[in-house]
Structure 1
Amino acid sequence: MKKKHALQLIACTIILLSQGAALWARGSTPESGQTVNVYSGRHYDIDTKLYEAFTKKTGIAVNVVAGNAGETVERAVTEGKNTQADVFFVTGADVLYQLKVKGILGQLPGNITSLVPENLSDPDGTWVAASKRARVIVYDKNKNPTPLVTDYENLVQGEHKVVIRSSGNSYNRMLLASIIHANGEAGARQWVRDLVSHMARPPQGNDRSQAKAVVAGIADYAVMNTYYLGLMLRSQDPKEVMVGESLGIIFPNQTSRGTHVNISGLAISKYAGNRSNAIALIEFLLSKESQQRITDENFEYPANASVKPNKLVASWGEFREDTGDLNRIAAQVTLTAKIADEEGWQ
């Protein structure tokens, strides 16, 4: 069965790569025939725009194989030395960590990792952040003008109700991993027990759903990523704009470790067949121009330290971020699933 599953994965990969190549061949394949293959766990329009800009600038076509985090890792591991991947562009330090420990990643040049703060790149030089998103607490500022919650810890204390998406979500896995890193397993278990007791409803929907539940009066607080708020405020849907305008943001743990920040990240395959093109693409995605577009169009925080956040993003205020070792935090993700399951967080 394992052999059959592996063969199916390889066949799927070949099909997806063919589809990706065909997609980019329409108006973007250069006369030189140069390409770079990206295994991507991201799903944002800005990425497609940046790939197109890269092709226009360099003449290098970008072939994209899309999949969720698990599919991306499993595909790369299954293919091994025969992988078509040159670049990994994924969401979550936990995914980068998995690729690293499975020996999939190659070494990035120092001039690339030096573009971001030290805590946003792997000390061994195998991955680098491309953007950041803060995991914050939101509330309805019209109904609750003086919120008492300040930390992840006191979010789960008191009489209020909370909404949050499932524990299986990658954003929450890393959040809980950061709590393990800060407070130990016992502290994290207690946090989950308290969280479950404060839930206004069983986990459901995405981050936008949690925000809407707060404004609808279902809960007092929600946990969400900052960039979703930006997308809601710039939505074409008036209802989403209304929800976004009603929300206040709390950056948790400003007097202690800081707000949990996860990343989207870039890495190069150890077996990259187009290594020079891969390095060129990563450099392009970390350039000031690309980083500015990521924050302006997707409302993420730029990873490049020389780029300022979009004005809307900056209007939410400066905050202290948790600069804990993302590899050590990501190493706790397996334990988060066990804790969540045993303590009742669906």
Structure 2
Amino acid sequence: MNRRRRLPLLVSALTAAAVLALTGCGDGSTVVDKTEGADLVIYSGRNETLVKGLLDDLAKETGVKVGVRYATSAELAAQLLEEGDGTQADLFFSQDAGALGALAAAGRLDPLDASVVGKVQDGFADKSNRWVGTSARARVIAYDPRKAPEVEQMTTIDAVLDPKYKGRVGFAPTNASWQAFVTTLRVTRGEDQAKAWLEKFKANEPKAYDNNIVALDGVEKGEVALALINHYYWYERVAEKGAAAVTSKLHFLHGDDPGALINVAGVGILKGTDQKAAALKAVEYLLGPKAQAYFASKTFEYPVVEGAEVPSDLPPLKELDGLALDLNRLESLDKTLELLDEVGLS
């Protein structure tokens, strides 16, 4: 399908996701607009509580007056597609590669200099330099070792479909990380197998949570035995409460399993911006040592720049043996949202 024909479908699917995110209160689903009077406007699909300090530092370090609109990545991608050349946004800061890919596929992102993209490790940027990852995160299973000790032996995400987990699995249906996982199912196994997986998952009556934080809460409170989340939510919990106060554990899947996805948060400069120099400064800051250290120490994500220090309690990224997937393939977010709506998991 060519770009002109696909654009209305992208807008429709992403707008539908945005409405669902707002009604479901997914991560970042409360729209917060702090863009008035700004020189550089950032649309951030990353939660304000996670990145406000970082973006405040960015403004101080670069001398650029920054304004931010916070919402879900899907909602902001839909808004950017609808606004087109008339958008006020200069930079899109996405929670995952899928929303960035959707905008890139629609021709809404300006290519970055190869020298900028070249700072990150292989696989964490668009092959055409339209977006670049800023931090990486692993898909994991958080579980209660008292209720489901066998989770640590799981070798595939298919194991959560076992009838013994009926009503015992938590997930965050409006979150970008869940949507990226479903896209991974689609592009690695095909549409039919992905649909079959989701239908089995739904039949197992998973418990839907507003976001990954409360999904992890569900494990901690004994509401569910396990939850499908990103790794950093658990590490944030341990840092906040102390290891002794956290009962759940994490299990990482490996190899070619869709549950072993390693995704990125990332940024792209909007086509047509009149603040390209300032936007580029922002991108360079996010890839610089202070921001990479922030991601490692404050949000417990993996830095994507070679040589950046990783917290000692995180398993090294290279040792995770994650799914070898070209993140550009996650751009078909619209098809994922349509599939989730079709099976009743949106």
User: Shorter-chain TM-score category?
Assistant: 0.7 to 0.9
Q: Which runs of 5+ in 1 are unaligned?
A: 1-15, 25-34
| Deviation at residue 68 of structure 1 after TM alignment | 2.6
In structure 1, C-alpha distance between the alignment counterparts of 2:239 and 2:216, rounded to whole Å: 15
- Across the aligned residues of Structure 1 and Structure 2, the Cα RMSD in angstroms comes to 2.7
Equivalence for 1:135: 139
SS in 1 for 2:55: helix
In structure 1, C-alpha distance between the alignment counterparts of 2:80 and 2:258, rounded to whole Å: 35
CA deviation digits over 1:85-129, x for unaligned, max 9? Answer: 221111121211121122211010111111112311111110001
Among 179, 191, 198, which residue is 2:197 paired with? 191
SS in 2 for 1:138: strand
What does 1:30-49 correspond to in 2, within 5 Å?
A: 35-49=39-53
Cα–Cα, structure 1 residues 114 and 220, in superposed 2: closer, same or farther, change >3 Å? same
SS in 2 for 1:209: helix
In structure 2, C-alpha distance between the alignment counterparts of 1:57 and 1:338, rounded to whole Å: 41
Please tell me the residue identity of whatever aligns with 1:337. Answer: L
Equivalence for 1:4: none
Equivalence for 2:279: 278
Equivalence for 2:331: 330
What does 1:52-67 correspond to in 2, within 5 Å?
A: 52-67=56-71
SS in 2 for 1:306: coil
Among 166, 169, 175, which residue is 2:175 paired with? 169
Equivalence for 1:109: 113
| Deviation at residue 197 of structure 1 after TM alignment | 3.0
Q: Is the 8 A contact 1:168 1:337 kept in 2?
A: no
Cα–Cα, structure 1 residues 268 and 233, in superposed 2: closer, same or farther, change >3 Å? same
Please tell me the residue identity of whatever aligns with 2:277. Answer: S
Cα–Cα, structure 1 residues 38 and 256, in superposed 2: closer, same or farther, change >3 Å? closer
What does 1:1-346 correspond to in 2, within 5 Å?
A: 19-21=34-36, 35-147=39-151, 148-157=153-162, 159-161=164-166, 162-199=168-205, 201-235=206-240, 245-254=246-255, 259-314=260-315, 318-331=319-332, 333-345=333-345
TM-score normalized with structure 2 length = 0.80
CA deviation digits over 1:253-293, x for unaligned, max 9? Answer: 33657711222111111212121111111111111221111
| Deviation at residue 225 of structure 1 after TM alignment | 1.0
Please tell me the residue identity of whatever aligns with 2:289. Answer: K
| Deviation at residue 143 of structure 1 after TM alignment | 4.2
Equivalence for 1:12: none
| Deviation at residue 61 of structure 1 after TM alignment | 1.9
| Deviation at residue 316 of structure 1 after TM alignment | 10
Q: Is the 8 A contact 1:86 1:275 kept in 2?
A: yes
In structure 2, C-alpha distance between the alignment counterparts of 1:229 and 1:117, rounded to whole Å: 24
Larger Rg: 1
Q: Is the 8 A contact 1:152 1:253 kept in 2?
A: no
SS in 2 for 1:119: coil
Please tell me the residue identity of whatever aligns with 2:227. Answer: A
CA deviation digits over 1:152-187, x for unaligned, max 9? Answer: 122213523442325343221110110111211222
Mean CA deviation greater in 137-146 or 271-280:
137-146
Cα–Cα, structure 1 residues 98 and 179, in superposed 2: closer, same or farther, change >3 Å? same
In structure 2, C-alpha distance between the alignment counterparts of 1:95 and 1:140, rounded to whole Å: 32
In structure 2, C-alpha distance between the alignment counterparts of 1:194 and 1:71, rounded to whole Å: 28
In structure 2, C-alpha distance between the alignment counterparts of 1:92 and 1:285, rounded to whole Å: 15
Cα–Cα, structure 1 residues 55 and 214, in superposed 2: closer, same or farther, change >3 Å? closer
Cα–Cα, structure 1 residues 337 and 306, in superposed 2: closer, same or farther, change >3 Å? same
| Deviation at residue 242 of structure 1 after TM alignment | 6.1
SS in 2 for 1:159: helix
In structure 2, C-alpha distance between the alignment counterparts of 1:170 and 1:64, rounded to whole Å: 19
Cα–Cα, structure 1 residues 318 and 74, in superposed 2: closer, same or farther, change >3 Å? same
SS in 1 for 2:109: coil
Q: Is the 8 A contact 2:157 2:259 kept in 1?
A: no
Q: Is the 8 A contact 2:120 2:305 kept in 1?
A: yes
TM-score normalized with structure 1 length = 0.80
Moved >6 Å (runs of 4+): none
Identical columns (%)? 25
| Deviation at residue 21 of structure 1 after TM alignment | 4.1
Matched length: 313
Cα–Cα, structure 1 residues 48 and 207, in superposed 2: closer, same or farther, change >3 Å? closer
Q: Which runs of 5+ in 2 are unaligned?
A: 1-31
Equivalence for 1:5: none
